[in-house]
Chain A
Amino acid sequence: MIWLSWRQFRTQALVAACVLVVLAVVLLISGLSLAHLYATSGLPGCRSRNDCPVKLMDFTAQLGGAYRAVFELTLALTYVAPALMGAFWGAPLVAREFETGTFRLAWTQSVSRNRWLLVKTGLTGLAAILVAGLMSLMLSWWFSPVLKAAQFAPSRGSLSINRLDPLLFGVNGIAPVGYAAFAFALGLTAGVLIRRVIPAMAVTLAGFAFAELAWLNWVRPHLIAPVRTNSPLDASTIQGLTIGNGNLMTIIPGSKPNAWILSDQAVTSAGHPFSAPATHACLDGSMQACGASLGPLHIRQLLVYQPASRYWPLQSYETAIFLVVAIALGFLCLARISRRRLA
């Protein structure tokens, strides 16, 4: 059974291996050079010399061009890989057997249907997980100098990046493993239920995209109850203010912790979003006068965020949930195939 699973999977495995090797070579070359850039940037040890902001600016200035291209390409690939593996590996796994009628051949050999499905999904599913895990590892390694550099960023600085950033979170750590398992199981289930390859692939792609977006927007922010702070704002803690149509004044709060900011609002002391006619001082006075005129307005900053320290708890919960859903889908397929005995 293992032989057949491998024989049917080896072409796809070869394609995946080639993509991984090419990616590894690109990331290795680019990553070594990036690590060198960081090591020679003067950032390590900048605190004692007190020149961190300057060195950081120099460092970030060089992150464009090839580095940016490599990063964006790998990022996109790591996001798309689970969906592709779900659609091209998971969906046809059983659907193709139905479509070509070969399930009648496979299920009448001396191997129980449960074992047939377990071995096939085990092999292909683990391969999908492995591919996603490797991609995450490679990207994490490549990206690590940038994260190290970000430690030297001031709280209001230019490179306030961290691993909780929604874009980075999904391609770092163990989360991609969960996505891959889920996408694969989703493809498998679509194939078992729909029994046609192309529709099952389409459903897998659409379903996975929807699940990811829904998760990112509605679930992950609340996986652990976010921290809420409500603190007074004054001239020294705001980043800026804008005066728009009708002389309405909007405050841009400053002072952000190293965190994934879910919401950042200037509010009145009653808790409503702050919006008021501009003070005279701000319309035509000096910066200082404008700042001073804000005091009596009692503006507060309402901040909702996930602190950076929650990176691993969030990663673990997210991955665990995706894995559990994947396993549940797997059992559904198993029950469907062994009990219903489709023809």
Chain B
Amino acid sequence: MTVVLETRGLGKRYRRRWALSDCTLAIPAGHVVGLVGPNGAGKTTLLNLAVGLLAPTEGSVEILGGTPASSASQLAKVGFVAQDTPTYAGLTVADHLKLGAHMNPGWDAEVAEARISRLGLDPAQKAGKLSGGQRAQLALTLAIAKRPEVLVLDEPIASLDPLARREFLQTLMEVTAEQELSVVMSSHLVSDLERICDYLIVLVASRVRVSGDVDTLLASHYQLTGPRRDPESLPADWDVISASHTDRQTTLLVRSESPIAEPGMTVDRIGLEDLVLAYMSQATKPARTARHAVEAQR
């Protein structure tokens, strides 16, 4: 398994506040990876460290086996779309393509122009006059046309309306189908990631709660519902991710590599969103999360 992004004990401090601390993870190549987590989990900091816009306070980060932004050739391998998709307001769409062509030796003008015309963007339009969705598409086009090996997207769709969001994801899906490209994309909207990602990392408070192939994750988690049970009476080898009890009923999320059958309880498959939410809400249980973080790295 080759790795696009690897961090070891990575931490970043702004003055006295740690935005990310002791983050260790490895993202395999050839996937569309969704990085999910609540606001403030350190997603943006992690991705900015990954593309070299930030320097680590502690630990190490490697992207495609090299130090981020250490050289022009290293920069050329990484496409980045920043949060809020910044573009130069005073430059036109065509200017942005020229900018890309002048600043990237591997620039693919054909791809860029084809994409712009398919999006229906007027090349003479100033970027400052574009809608949020159009601007995001322009930023994505710039990142794609430099022909990177990995595309890093920092919440590119968070501020878009549903239609623009759908179009953006559509473009992204086309690109991943056309080009040999790894994608790392952060979001706090699981429903969006579900459509496009085949690999998922849940990051809460700098820690990886769970990571893995989406299909494998979905296949190895079960929701059990039944009459109220005493937590002590559950089988000792169960890996209970979350448990909720009412007076009469107990609902469990259990992780297991083999199928589960438990008399008196209904066993259901679980959706990605519920799975992610279950891991996110573990934030208050440090003992468990530490164990899962270790597991996730294996």
Tell whether, in the assembled complex, residue A115 and residue B72 are in contact, meaning their CB atoms are under 8 Å apart: yes
Which residues of B in the span 41-65 have a Cβ within 8 Å of any Cβ on A? 45, 48, 51-55
Interface residues of B (CB under 8 A from A): 45, 48, 51-55, 69, 71-73, 75-76, 78-80, 82, 84, 86-91, 95, 98-100, 102-106, 139, 142-143, 146
Q: Tell me how far the C-beta of A59 lies from the nearest C-beta in chain B, rounded to whole angstroms.
A: 51
Tell whether, in the assembled complex, residue B82 and residue A109 are in contact, meaning their CB atoms are under 8 Å apart: no
**A104 touching B86 in the complex, CB below 8 Å, given contacts A1-B103, A4-B102, A110-B103:** yes
Q: Tell me how far the C-beta of B147 lies from the nearest C-beta in chain A, rounded to whole angstroms.
A: 10
**A341 touching B72 in the complex, CB below 8 Å, given contacts A3-B102, A4-B99, A109-B103:** no
29 A-B pairs with C-beta separation under 8 A: A3-B98, A3-B99, A7-B91, A7-B95, A8-B88, A101-B82, A102-B88, A104-B48, A104-B53, A104-B80, A104-B82, A104-B86, A107-B52, A108-B51, A108-B79, A108-B80, A108-B82, A108-B143, A109-B75, A109-B103, A109-B146, A110-B72, A110-B103, A110-B106, A110-B146, A112-B75, A115-B72, A341-B52, A343-B54
Docked CA distance A107–B104 (Å): 12
Asked whether A55 is an interface residue with its Cβ less than 8 Å from the other chain, the reply is: no
Of B75, B98, B142, which one neighbours A105 at CB under 8 angstroms? B142
Asked whether A340 is an interface residue with its Cβ less than 8 Å from the other chain, the reply is: yes
Asked whether A339 is an interface residue with its Cβ less than 8 Å from the other chain, the reply is: yes
Docked CA distance A341–B105 (Å): 23
Closest A residue to B98 by CB, please name it: A3
Docked CA distance A102–B75 (Å): 16
Docked CA distance A1–B102 (Å): 6
Docked CA distance A160–B115 (Å): 71
Tell whether, in the assembled complex, residue A105 and residue B105 are in contact, meaning their CB atoms are under 8 Å apart: no
Docked CA distance A147–B293 (Å): 81
Docked CA distance A102–B51 (Å): 15
With A3-B102, A105-B142 known, 20 other A-B pairs at CB within 8 A are: A1-B102, A2-B102, A3-B98, A4-B103, A7-B91, A7-B98, A102-B88, A103-B53, A104-B86, A105-B86, A108-B69, A108-B82, A108-B143, A109-B75, A110-B73, A110-B76, A113-B69, A340-B55, A343-B48, A343-B54
Of A3, A110, A341, which one neighbours B54 at CB under 8 angstroms? A341
Give A1-41 as 1s and 0s: 1 = Cβ < 8 Å from B's Cβ atoms.
11110011000000000000000000000000000000000
Tell whether, in the assembled complex, residue B88 and residue A107 are in contact, meaning their CB atoms are under 8 Å apart: no
Which residues of A in the span 248-296 have a Cβ within 8 Å of any Cβ on B? none
